[in-house]
Amino acid sequence: MTNIFAFALGISRHSAAGAMLDCYFPAPCMQPDINLSEIISRHFSAGVTEVAAAVAAAFADELPEGQLKQATQALTAGERALRCVVLENDDAISSTAEAYLKLHLLSHRLALPNSLNLDNIFAHLPNVAWTTRGPIAVDELAAALIKAQTQGQHLEVMAVDKFPKMTNYVVPSGVRIADASRIRLGAFLGDGTTVMHEGFINFNAGALGPNMIEGRVSQGVTVGANSDLGGSSSTMGTLSGGGEIVISVGENCLIGANAGTGIPLGDRCTIEAGLYITAGTKISLLDETGTEVRKVKARELAGGDDLLFIRNSETGRIECRSNRRAIELNAQLHAHN
Amino acid sequence: MTNIFAFALGISRHSAAGAMLDCYFPAPCMQPDINLSEIISRHFSAGVTEVAAAVAAAFADELPEGQLKQATQALTAGERALRCVVLENDDAISSTAEAYLKLHLLSHRLALPNSLNLDNIFAHLPNVAWTTRGPIAVDELAAALIKAQTQGQHLEVMAVDKFPKMTNYVVPSGVRIADASRIRLGAFLGDGTTVMHEGFINFNAGALGPNMIEGRVSQGVTVGANSDLGGSSSTMGTLSGGGEIVISVGENCLIGANAGTGIPLGDRCTIEAGLYITAGTKISLLDETGTEVRKVKARELAGGDDLLFIRNSETGRIECRSNRRAIELNAQLHAHN
Amino acid sequence: MTNIFAFALGISRHSAAGAMLDCYFPAPCMQPDINLSEIISRHFSAGVTEVAAAVAAAFADELPEGQLKQATQALTAGERALRCVVLENDDAISSTAEAYLKLHLLSHRLALPNSLNLDNIFAHLPNVAWTTRGPIAVDELAAALIKAQTQGQHLEVMAVDKFPKMTNYVVPSGVRIADASRIRLGAFLGDGTTVMHEGFINFNAGALGPNMIEGRVSQGVTVGANSDLGGSSSTMGTLSGGGEIVISVGENCLIGANAGTGIPLGDRCTIEAGLYITAGTKISLLDETGTEVRKVKARELAGGDDLLFIRNSETGRIECRSNRRAIELNAQLHAHN
């Protein structure tokens, strides 16, 4: 192999019927350097393969000190066959193991949201019952529940979903997650991110950190440094308006509690609590004296910096002012004339 | 027994003091046919009874091939005494086992929400600590926590509630449930229903499927085919307005993120993100030219089809237009004149 | 010791490296009477100490019949060393064990929110992975996940947070908690409180009971008797407006679904579904005839009784009327003239 896009070694879990349910990769790699690529190439083939613990142990012996070596040694301790994935290119997903590798790359902060080819991911992720005994195939769950009950044991089913929760696979450094059931594997949580109980981060979405996330970060959405999402605030996954616009929230923004946005925001923007802006919302642009400059649809403000969105409580009109923290940027608004 | 309304065989769990905490019925039946009714009558009495595994095994032998036979055989494998419930009529609930049977009927899709007599259900469901070791009586929990701690074990308490979560009892086919703690036993999830992390479905409530549920389906509410509930959207359980109106959402509707409804909606209705309609909300009905036809209270629009509800972002006025996907139905609005 | 502010005996859990992760105190005491103080003083020193099970057993022997004696006896059954905390004063927090003691005092209903000195609590609570095997130090989690996987076991991580969930430590009497992951240790739940799936109660916050909580009770917020928080309603933690105002909700209030408040409310107040009031919101005060008396900022209405907040659906104006359940109190509004 002359080129390796991504590599991981880990453990796959399977249904009683033999279908792969998930993969756990403690130390995935993306675009390994030449030395590491050569070591990988000597031991493993491209694609998804099963490798004996002894093969993995020999691989570990050649690795330089570090996380990958440690994790590989720990994996081989069980003497179980392991699962290896070597991707030469970032192609569309063609197997469950590849899907899990890419989700791991995101949650290990090796790739930013929207930077990986995730085509066909839904097709290759089986719908799984996630239980206190690990993943169980959905069509084997009813029998497992009966068996547990007849044995006087308790089987707890936490979710029935294609995506597992992130924290059972990896917890990146410097984060707090108040309710882990709300962070899917494939979420990107930057250092310094706190996700409170009402927060949610989908796969291929992320908070770049540091952030306080008490709202919902939909698939494809990213939130920049020092931006906060208030309790139950909403970000739309994508929107139609002459094409699909990926929503993002810049740095130093605040989306208030119970508020929401259907447009991308630049830096230092605020949406007041309880106000939902969609792409088609007609908005009055106000200058620094509070005079209406003109009316625009929200999508025309997409990506703008220093914007403050409120609904005037005397008139019900939705208004956009230059954020008072940055009055000098009002010129930007006038530039739209 | 000449008539059987519902039947189930399963396992009940009890407090240390002997109180029934829950029942698990893997294959409940509603209105069994004559053949099955006769087999049931030969082996079991009306009401709630304890039956020996051998009796259940003899019952299983007589059953035709199918889910009930398989589940019954699996239940008898434990050689534990089982719990049998035979209801001759759909009367008010008079025991914990009956309450659990009716909740199972709903979640097994054998009965639609609002079709069963659930009177007295709260009185007969004990408040239970739901833990990783199964149900524990609330007044026995403190001792269980101390004991686990002194033994160096961990006891996780997921809920303290009268209703357990559905997925520990049954997962109907063709569904995804991102956070199972938000679906109570007694919820009805039709085939093709996905409930995301922010979604919630109460007992005696349901999504008929297929649906994308990211909002809250309150007790008594049903959501029709191809309707979506946006993130954190709300449906009111009941409303006062000259009587109790049960809320429902028809087919092909969209309730936007952070929106809500206090009136039933017909088909093809949309409520924009962030807008909450209550029964008493005064709404401007607009015709196809955008001209106000008349003002109505929202309750007058209950059950109407093809309605689009927005709050005008220039005037703050709540408006209802015929949904643009179905302009031909504007006549319906004028009919209210 | 002449004076004891708080006392507790329990079990602490530690990381592999020896750092304290949490403490469990089944029967904490606040301001014990002279007799009990003397018994405590005879057996234990001030501060945080480790005590042998035999010492605790001797202490239990001297105690009068009651919860503390029972809990202490149960604790000693494991013959493990126990953790004792004796606080002479309500000083700023200076250790993990003290932090846990104060959180227990709140959840055991021995202290109301905002009545304890919680200074430095964040500094003394370690960030912990809360798992089905109990707390694990964040920097030991990756190794624990690998080990579980290689052994074919499942390790479920429910949260990564400084605060654990309350129900694993104490469930006060007379409450229902539909999703325990949303109640932090340190929450105060009065008798008769039901917290539904969408409800949330932070540490040092509480519902005094009876209450139906389907919204978010932020840190420092208290909700009075017979007040209900609708689904996904929001209470702001604190607000700036000439100083920090602690939000509270009085008795017999209703905050509608998806609504919110940034000001404290008195008794018998209602905020309609979907309306968010912040301190700076300009509001039209209406008299009993619906005539505007004057315009105020919401913060001027802080703590007022019998107020009904709506957004006029014809004009978009936010209005405050005297709650129709208490028309006689309109005079209060006019008093602001």
pLDDT mean values, one per 10 residues, chain A (337 residues): 92 98 98 97 97 96 97 92 97 98 98 97 98 98 97 97 98 98 98 98 97 97 98 80 74 98 97 96 92 93 96 98 54 47
Indicate whether A135 and A104 sit together in one domain. Answer: no
Indicate whether C82 and C212 sit together in one domain. Answer: no
The minimum CA-CA distance between A29 and chain C, rounded to whole Å, is 16
pLDDT band at B244 (very low <50, low <70, confident <90, very high): low
Question: Which residues contact residue C33 at a Cβ distance below 8 angstroms, ignoring those fewer than 6 apart?
Answer: none
Distances (CA, A) of B62 to A67, B5, B41, B288: 60, 20, 12, 65
The minimum CA-CA distance between A336 and chain B, rounded to whole Å, is 19
CA angle (A25, A157, A194) in 5-degree steps: 60
Q: Which residues make beta-bridge pairs with B22?
A: B13
Last residue of a domain, one of B70, B98, B125: B125
Indicate whether B64 and B92 sit together in one domain. Answer: yes
Distance from C-alpha of A161 to C-alpha of B109, rounded to nearest angstrom: 20
Domain CATH code at residue B142: 3.30.60
Taking every pair of C-alpha atoms in chain C, what is the biggest distance, in angstroms?
74
Indicate whether A192 and A318 sit together in one domain. Answer: yes
Cα C113 to chain centroid, rounded: 6
Give the type of residue at A34.
Answer: I
Token output for C134: 């109990």
Chain-chain contact of A158 with B180 (C-beta, under 8 angstroms): yes
Domain contains C172: yes
B330 pLDDT more than 50: no
The pLDDT value recorded for residue B323 is 59
Indicate whether C170 and C252 sit together in one domain. Answer: yes
Domain contains C1: no
Domain contains A1: no
Domain contains B326: yes
- Give the predicted TM-score (pTM) of the model: 0.95
B114 pLDDT more than 50: yes
Indicate whether A57 and A134 sit together in one domain. Answer: no
The pLDDT value recorded for residue A238 is 61
Indicate whether A185 and A329 sit together in one domain. Answer: yes
Indicate whether C19 and C133 sit together in one domain. Answer: no
Distance from C-alpha of C202 to C-alpha of C215, rounded to nearest angstrom: 11
Name the residue of chain C whose CA is nearest to B198's CA. C198
Q: Which residues make beta-bridge pairs with C282?
A: C297
| Cis amide leading into C210 (omega within 30) | yes
B86 pLDDT more than 90: yes
C-alpha dihedral, B315 to B318 to B323 to B328, nearest 10°: -90
Neighbouring CB atoms inside 10 A of B45's CB total 11
The pLDDT value recorded for residue A323 is 59
Three-state secondary structure call for residue C46: coil
b/e burial code for range A209-224 (CB count within 10 A of at least 16 → b):
bbbbbbbbbbbbbbbb
Chain-chain contact of C171 with B160 (C-beta, under 8 angstroms): yes
Closest by alpha carbon to C157, among A182, B315, A296, A10?
A: A182
ipTM, interface predicted TM-score of the complex: 0.94
Chain-chain contact of A315 with B315 (C-beta, under 8 angstroms): yes
Give the type of residue at C293.
Answer: V
Residues 192-231 of chain C with CB under 8 A from chain B are 197-198, 230-231
Domain contains B1: no
Active site residue B214: yes
Distance from C-alpha of A287 to C-alpha of B259, rounded to nearest angstrom: 30
Indicate whether B320 and B174 sit together in one domain. Answer: yes
Q: In what order do the strands lie in the sheet with B260-261?
A: B200-201, B216-217, B234-235, B260-261, B276-277
Residue A328 near residue A335 (C-beta atoms within 8 A)? no
Mean pLDDT in residue range B16-30: 98
Task: Dump pLDDT digits (tens) for C129-174.
Answer: 999 999 999 999 999 999 999 999 999 999 999 999 999 999 999 9
Task: Dump pLDDT digits (tens) for A112-150.
Answer: 999 999 999 999 999 999 999 999 999 999 999 999 999
Distance from C-alpha of A332 to C-alpha of A26, rounded to nearest angstrom: 47
Distance from C-alpha of B106 to C-alpha of A138, rounded to nearest angstrom: 20
Distance from C-alpha of B71 to C-alpha of B63, rounded to nearest angstrom: 11
Taking every pair of C-alpha atoms in chain B, what is the biggest distance, in angstroms?
74
Chain-chain contact of A154 with B131 (C-beta, under 8 angstroms): yes
| Cis amide leading into C164 (omega within 30) | no
Last residue of a domain, one of C69, C103, C124: C124
Domain CATH code at residue A264: 2.160.10.10
Closest by alpha carbon to C14, among C143, C170, C137, C166?
A: C137
Distance from C-alpha of A130 to C-alpha of A165, rounded to nearest angstrom: 9
Residues 28-67 of chain A with CB under 8 A from chain C are none
Domain CATH code at residue B79: 3.30.70.2010
The pLDDT value recorded for residue B287 is 87
Burial of residue C13 (CB within 10 Å: 0-12, 13-18, 19+) is middle
Give the percent of chain B with pLDDT over 70: 93
Residues of chain C with confidence (pLDDT) below 70: 1, 238-244, 323-337
Domain contains C283: yes
Closest by alpha carbon to A106, among A129, A88, A90, A127?
A: A90
DSSP per residue, A15-78: -TTS-EEEEE-SS-EES--HHHHHHHHHH--SEEEEE-HHHHHHHHHHSPSSHHHHHHHHHHTT
Which ranges of C192-263 does DSSP label H, i.e. alpha helix?
none
Indicate whether C111 and C230 sit together in one domain. Answer: no
Task: Dump pLDDT digits (tens) for B151-162.
Answer: 999 999 999 999
Token output for A287: 């200058």
Q: Which residues make beta-bridge pairs with B234?
A: B216, B260
The minimum CA-CA distance between A316 and chain C, rounded to whole Å, is 4
Distance from C-alpha of C261 to C-alpha of C217, rounded to nearest angstrom: 11
Residues of C in contact with B312 (CB under 8 A): 316
Give the type of residue at C136.
Answer: I
Distance from C-alpha of A197 to C-alpha of C187, rounded to nearest angstrom: 14
Residues of A in contact with C129 (CB under 8 A): 167, 171
Which residue in C133, C168, C315 is closest to B157 by CB distance?
Answer: C168
Burial of residue A31 (CB within 10 Å: 0-12, 13-18, 19+) is middle
Angle, helices A53-62 vs A34-43, to 10°: value is: 150
Residue B72 near residue B56 (C-beta atoms within 8 A)? yes
Give the type of residue at C5.
Answer: F
Give the residue numbers spanning the domain of A293.
166-334
Q: In what order do the strands lie in the sheet with C222-223?
A: C187-189, C205-207, C222-223, C248-249
Chain-chain contact of C160 with A181 (C-beta, under 8 angstroms): no
Distance from C-alpha of B269 to C-alpha of B255, rounded to nearest angstrom: 8
Tell me, yes or no, if A313 comes closer than 8 A to chain B by beta carbon: no
Task: Quote the number of domains for chain B.
Answer: 3
pLDDT band at B208 (very low <50, low <70, confident <90, very high): very high
Task: List active site positions of C.
Answer: 214
Give the type of residue at C17.
Answer: A
Neighbouring CB atoms inside 10 A of B75's CB total 26
Chain C interface, mutation test: which of A171, A193, A254, A317, most C Cβ atoms within 10 Å? A171
Taking every pair of C-alpha atoms in chain A, what is the biggest distance, in angstroms?
74
Token output for A125: 């992720």
Domain contains A326: yes
Chain-chain contact of C169 with B145 (C-beta, under 8 angstroms): yes
| Cis amide leading into A210 (omega within 30) | yes
Indicate whether B57 and B120 sit together in one domain. Answer: yes
Distance from C-alpha of C159 to C-alpha of C166, rounded to nearest angstrom: 13
- If you count them, how many residues does chain C have? 337
Which residue in A26, A168, A313 is closest to C318 by CB distance?
Answer: A313
Indicate whether C199 and C242 sit together in one domain. Answer: yes
Which residue in A80, A167, A274 is closest to C275 by CB distance?
Answer: A274
Residue B58 near residue B52 (C-beta atoms within 8 A)? no
Tell me, yes or no, if B14 comes closer than 8 A to chain A by beta carbon: no
Tell me, yes or no, if B157 comes closer than 8 A to chain A by beta carbon: no
Q: In what order do the strands lie in the sheet with C234-235?
A: C200-201, C216-217, C234-235, C260-261, C276-277
